[in-house]
Structure 1
Amino acid sequence: MLRIHFTSRDLQHIRVARRPHVLWELVCGVCRLDTRQGALEFGHWRRSVHEGLAADPRARRALLPLQTLIPSVGYIPDFLTPSAPGGDLAVGLDEVRATSRTRLTRELSRLAESRPLPPWVSTLDRPGSKGLVTFTRAMELSARTLLEPYWPRVRTAVGNDVELRSRALLDGGTSALLNTLRPHARWQAPVLEVDYPVDRELHLEGRGLLLVPSYFCWRRPTALADPTLGPVLVYPVAKHPLEIVRASQDGLERLLGRTRTVVLAHLAGHGARTTSEVAAAADIALPSASYQLGILREGGLVASRREGQFVRHSATPLGLRLLDER
C-alpha cells in the first residue's frame, strides 16, 4: 500500500491533469503490450500493435530499448516520465534528453539491481555519448506506433474522467475529489491509502499532488519512485468495451478474439451453461474454457453461480449488448 500524507497546504494544491500525458501513456502502454492484462480492454489494441510491428522492422527495433528499461513489473526509472506541461511529447522528450548524468546513473543503477541490462544502457550516462538522443528517437517512434492510432480514444476516455473529477470537486471540494479515486484509493484524512504493489510512505510536505488520469494504466495507480520529485499519482480511467466494438472495423471478434466471441454467443443463445458444456460447444479443452470464461467474467460480460456441484455461466446485460452491436 502507498500511504500519501497530506497537510492543509497540500489539500489546497491538488491538481488534475486535463489531458493525457503522452510519456506516461507510452510507459504504461509498453507495460501492457507483452502481458495478458486487460484482455477485454487492451486485447484489440495489442493485436493491432503487433500487426503493425510485424510489418515495420524499424518500429520493431525502436521498441526494444524501451522494453529493456520498462519492465511490466517492478521499478521503472523516473526520468522516462518527466512532468511536461500538458503531457506534450516534444517537450517531454526534451526533458528526457536533458536528464543529468548523475540522475541517469542513479536510476539506471537501481534498475540494474532488479534485472540484467545490456551493454548499450551504460552509454546513456556516458559523457559525450549520443545514447540518450538515440533513445528518445526510439521513444518518439514507439509513441507513434503504440499510441497515435489510438489517441482519439485515449483523449476521450481521459476527458470523460476529468469531467467526472471536476464535478466532484465543484460539488464537494477536495475531499469529494479524493473519494472519487475508489476503489483504487481510499481517503482517510489526512492520508490517501492507495492500492500499490509495495509498502511506501509519501509525505507531500506542502508540494501538493498532481493526479494524472491514464488510459493504459491498469488495475492500480502508479507513482514516481523518487519521493524528492514532484508528487504524481497516475491512475486508470474507465474503459468502455461497447464503444470499442462500435468503433472497431472488425467488431466484437477484434475486441474479444474469436474463441471468447464464440463462448459469449453460445451463452447468450442457450442460457446458463456449465464449463463442460461451454467447452464442448466451442470445441476447446476444459482448461481453456475455464480460462476464457474467467476473462469474460473479469470484464463483466459473464456471470457465474454455483448450483450444487456445478458452476453455471450466463451472459450479463453488458455481454448481450455487445453481441447486439456486432
Structure 2
Amino acid sequence: MLRIYFTSDDIARTRIATGPDPLWELVLGLQMLRPQRGDLLFTAWRREACRAVRQAKLGEMLNLLLALSPNVGYFPDFLNPSKAIHGLDQGIEALRSTPVTMLKRDVRRLAATRRLPSNARRVADGEPAMLTDLTEAMRICYELIVLPYRRSVDAALERERRIRASALAAGGVEGLLTSLRPMMTWSSGELRIPGHRDQELHLHGRGLLLIPTYFCVSGPLTMLDPDLPPVLVYPAVRGPEAVPSRASGVPAALGALIGSTRAAVLEAVGTREETSTTVLARHLGISLASASEHTTVLRHSGLVFSHRDHNRTLHHLTDLGRALLEANADALLP
C-alpha cells in the first residue's frame, strides 16, 4: 500500500494538472502495447499502435524503450521528469539532462528485476548520443501511439477535471481527495492507495500534483525517489464512449506530407474554437516555441492566417488549409 502524508501546507498546495503530461501518457501507452488487466477499451488502439510502431522500424531503440517501461513492477523515474507537464519538448530536454547518478541508480534498480538489453548500460552511463537516440525514439512513438488519439485523450481528461473541480468547489482539497474513492482513501492527513507497492511518501510542505492519465489502467502511480517533485498519477474516469479513436483529420497520408506534428497543428486549428499558440501547445503536448514554429511554417505556406488579440496570437485556417484537411479526410472514405 502507498501512504502519502500531508501537512496543512501540503493540503494548501495540492492541485490537479491542467493538461495531459505527454511523457506519462507515452510511457503508459508503451506499457499498453502489451495486454494487461483492465485494458479492454484499448484492443483496437493496440492493434493500430503496434502496426504503426512496427512500420517505424525503430529496431533496438524500441526494444530498449519497451524494456525500460515494463507494464508490471518498477520502471525508472527518469523517464518522467516533472518538466514534461509543460510539454513534450520540455520533458525530452529534461530527460536528456538527467544526472548520471540518477540514470545509473534507476537502471540498476530495473536490472535487478529483469534482464535488460546491452545498450541499457549506455543509458546508465549518460552517453549523450544514446540519450539523443532514446528520446528521439520516444518522440516518434509519441507521434505514432498518442498524438493521433489526442482528441479521445483530451475529452476523457477534461471530463475527469470537471468531476474533480466540482468536488474541490464543494469540499475543498479534502473533498477532492475524498472524491477519488475507491482508488484511494483519505483520512486524517493520510492518503492511502491499496494495491500499490509498499511505500511511504512524506510531502513535507511541497504539496501534491494530481495527474489524471488516459492510458493508465493499473492503478495510481508515483515516483520511487521521495526527493523528486511529488506526483500521483491515476487513471481518469472512463466510460465505453472513451474508446481511443484516431482523429479523422490527421491520418498517415497528411502526416507523411507535412509531418505528423504539423498535421496535428493544422487539424487543431481547424477544429478548436480557440486556437492561440498557447492553447495549441497545451493541446498537442509540445512547447510554446515549437507550436509557434509550426504555425509560422503553416502561415508562410498559406494554410493558416494569424492575428493578434491583446496579448495572444490566434490562428485560423485559410481556404487552402481547409481544402487540404477536407481533401485528406475524403481520402479516408472507402
Corresponding residue of 2:63: 64
Quote how far apart the aligned CAs of 1:62 are: 4.4
Quote how far apart the aligned CAs of 1:61 are: 5.5
The one-letter amino acid of 2:78's match is: F
Evaluate the alpha carbon distance shift between residue 90 and residue 51 of structure 1 in structure 2; reply closer, same or farther with a 3 A threshold: same
Corresponding residue of 1:52: 52
| Cα deviation 1:118-167 (Å, max 9, x = unaligned) | 22111124365411111101110111111011111101111111111111
Quote how far apart the aligned CAs of 1:174 are: 0.8
Runs of 4+ in 1 over 6 A off after TM superposition: 245-249
Corresponding residue of 1:113: 112
Corresponding residue of 1:142: 141
Is the 8 Å Cα contact of residues 65 and 138 (structure 1) preserved in structure 2? no
Quote how far apart the aligned CAs of 1:20 are: 0.7
Gaps of 5+ in 2: 249-334
Moved more, 130-139 or 78-87: 78-87
- Structure 2 counterparts to residues 227-306 of structure 1, below 5 A: 227-244=226-243
The one-letter amino acid of 2:70's match is: P
Determine the C-alpha separation between the residues in 2 that align with 1:60 and 1:35. Answer: 21
Determine the C-alpha separation between the residues in 1 that align with 2:215 and 2:191. Answer: 22
Q: Secondary structure at the match of 1:222?
A: coil
Corresponding residue of 2:188: 189
Gaps of 5+ in 1: 250-326
1:34 aligned onto 2:39: no
Determine the C-alpha separation between the residues in 2 that align with 1:84 and 1:222. Answer: 17
Q: Secondary structure at the match of 1:4?
A: strand
The one-letter amino acid of 2:47's match is: R
Is the 8 Å Cα contact of residues 23 and 87 (structure 1) preserved in structure 2? no
Determine the C-alpha separation between the residues in 2 that align with 1:125 and 1:245. Answer: 34
Corresponding residue of 1:101: 100
Quote how far apart the aligned CAs of 1:15 are: 1.0
Corresponding residue of 1:16: 16
Quote how far apart the aligned CAs of 1:172 are: 1.1
TM-score, normalised to structure 1, is 0.72
Evaluate the alpha carbon distance shift between residue 163 and residue 60 of structure 1 in structure 2; reply closer, same or farther with a 3 A threshold: farther
| Cα deviation 1:82-133 (Å, max 9, x = unaligned) | 1126441011000000001111111111111111122211112436541111
Q: Secondary structure at the match of 1:119?
A: coil
Determine the C-alpha separation between the residues in 1 that align with 2:127 and 2:30. Answer: 28
Determine the C-alpha separation between the residues in 2 that align with 1:186 and 1:117. Answer: 36
Determine the C-alpha separation between the residues in 1 that align with 2:31 and 2:244. Answer: 23
Q: Secondary structure at the match of 1:3?
A: strand
Number of paired residues? Answer: 248
Is the 8 Å Cα contact of residues 5 and 189 (structure 2) preserved in structure 1? yes
Determine the C-alpha separation between the residues in 2 that align with 1:227 and 1:174. Answer: 22
The one-letter amino acid of 1:204's match is: L
Corresponding residue of 2:200: 201
How much is the aligned-residue C-alpha RMSD, in angstroms? 2.0
Evaluate the alpha carbon distance shift between residue 245 and residue 67 of structure 1 in structure 2; reply closer, same or farther with a 3 A threshold: closer
Is the 8 Å Cα contact of residues 62 and 142 (structure 1) preserved in structure 2? no
| Cα deviation 1:181-212 (Å, max 9, x = unaligned) | 11100001210011233211111111110000
Q: Secondary structure at the match of 2:57?
A: helix
Determine the C-alpha separation between the residues in 2 that align with 1:229 and 1:197. Answer: 18
Corresponding residue of 1:295: none
Q: Which has the larger radius of gyration?
A: 1
Is the 8 Å Cα contact of residues 59 and 145 (structure 1) preserved in structure 2? no
Determine the C-alpha separation between the residues in 1 that align with 2:65 and 2:126. Answer: 21
The one-letter amino acid of 1:122's match is: R
Corresponding residue of 1:6: 6
